[in-house]
Structure 1
Amino acid sequence: MLDSLSYYKEEYIINKYIVPIWEKVTITPEEASAYSSIGINTIYQMLDDPDCEFKLYVGTKKRLIKRKAFEKYLEDTYAIDRN
């Protein structure tokens, strides 16, 4: 009995913070790439654009993507220039 309680407690702790991408407020560039089927290098080029409205800096280096703003950008954009 203790073993099964221990297993469920571990399983709860492990899965407690798993949130589907479509429910997250911010996502990583890697998640954005998987979510949108846009290559990771293109995602990073988009984040390098000073006018990019969906990036969020955490500290001075870490960049996250505001998921809803990213989705809106994709809805409103016809083509993405990779140059």
Structure 2
Amino acid sequence: MPSEEEVLKELKKVKDPHTGLDIVSMRLVEEVNADEENIEVVVRPTNPFCPSALMIVEQVKATLESAFEGVNVDVKLVGHVLTEEEE
């Protein structure tokens, strides 16, 4: 079972394409939940119109699926114009 610390370590490999900084240092990772079968990550971009938000979400999913094979990965994007959630 991956720990939150292990997940965050992997997420530091995901870089924001505009700044070159990792998404953990930029505080884009709002929440991490992990158990034996699932990892859930909530990502909030720096602004609601961030053009790279969907690409970052895809990179997060690919990075975690590669690092933790056999674990279901769910990445939620919040606070972006393309999300359906009302805030």
Question: Normalized against structure 2, the TM-score is what?
Answer: 0.26
Question: 1 or 2, which has the higher helix percentage?
Answer: 1
Question: Normalized against structure 1, the TM-score is what?
Answer: 0.27
